[in-house]
Amino acid sequence: MLRSNLWELAKEIIQNNQSFILTSHINPDGDALGSEIALAEYLRSIGKQATIVNNSPTARNYRFLDPGNEIVIFDKNTHNGILESADAFFILDISDWGRLREIGEIIQSLQKPKVCIDHHHCTNHFTEIDIIDQRASSTGEMMFDFLSFLGATFTKRISTALYTCVLTDTGSFRFSNTNSKAHIIAAKMLSNGVNPHHIYQEVYEKNSQSKMKLLGSILKNLRYECHGRLAWFNITQDMLVQAGANIWDTEGFPEIPRSIDGVEVSMMFTELEARKTKISLRSKGNTVVNTVAMKFGGGGHQFASGAVLDSPIKDANAMVLEEARQLFI
């Protein structure tokens, strides 16, 4: 089925319903948040009710997207009714029920229309209407297409949200997923009054002192494998506590070792709990890394992927490094 047919099905969901819940993955990034806000703004502009409900608080560097604190942070004791009373759901930038946690469990149990818009690899049928395009630079790029299809007016807030999507998911237009369309969308959003300097400052120049302290600890303990072609590091709960940092402060860290000459793949291991470890893999674009993530139940793009292992961080180190080394044989 052509994507225009899928957009038409999603349009019918909007036309036939009044209240919508929009949600995304835990620890939402600029692409997830921007996509949510852009779609919510459009829905409200046509007289619909739209509520963004996320599992995690918005990171400080993205709070400028939600100055009125409209995004609801889910609490099962308070917000079950919000989900249950909605007519339909839009799930953005994620096609994995596990990363939707309790929100996902509730949405799955409800016999109501669900639409997924995502640019990540999806191996299984996710919702009734899965609109997945791995070729897109970001979910924001797909949201631009959807809103254009709907005949939306690209207000300054929608334009700011979509510009943030494209900017952040392409790593300021330097990652391998950067395409000509990303630049075209950025240019169109700029013509709508978006201030790129302001957005850059908000996203990239709001680092806390604790984040910089954590970064220093990471760089000091950076490790190399495969003749310097693979670089990796750990972030333990003790390191977070000592730096006074939190999990949101680690955004952008997996990309840092890629800037080192000779490094082709970088990996970040984050201790989530005593027996749970998140791995984040990044490649300069010559080595496919999502095959490693998929072996541990994860996924993502060819050159940017991740997974969560039910293993202590030291065990995760051993298992994942064994697989990662095979990339260079």
Mean pLDDT, residues 239-257 taken together: 94
Mean pLDDT, residues 82-88 taken together: 97
Residue range(s) of every CATH 3.10.310.30 domain in the chain: 210-328
In 3-state terms the chain splits into helix, strand, coil percentages (rounded to 5) of: 45, 20, 35
Residue range(s) of every CATH 3.90.1640.10 domain in the chain: 3-204
Question: Any idea which of 71-80, 101-110, 123-132, 218-227 has the lowest mean pLDDT?
Answer: 123-132
Question: Any idea which of 124-138, 189-203, 256-270 has the lowest mean pLDDT?
Answer: 124-138
Q: Which CATH class is domain 210-328?
A: alpha beta
pLDDT score for 99: 85
Whose structure tokens read 């709960």?
Answer: 237
Q: Quick: pLDDT tens for 187-218.
A: 999 999 999 999 999 999 999 999 999 999 99
Q: Which CATH class is domain 3-204?
A: alpha beta
Rounded Cα distance, 166 and 185, in Å: 8
pLDDT score for 1: 42
Residue 2 has pLDDT above 60, yes or no: no
Q: SS3 for 196?
A: helix
* Token representation of residue 139: 């979910």
% of the chain residues with pLDDT over 70: 99
H or E element that contains 52: strand 49-54
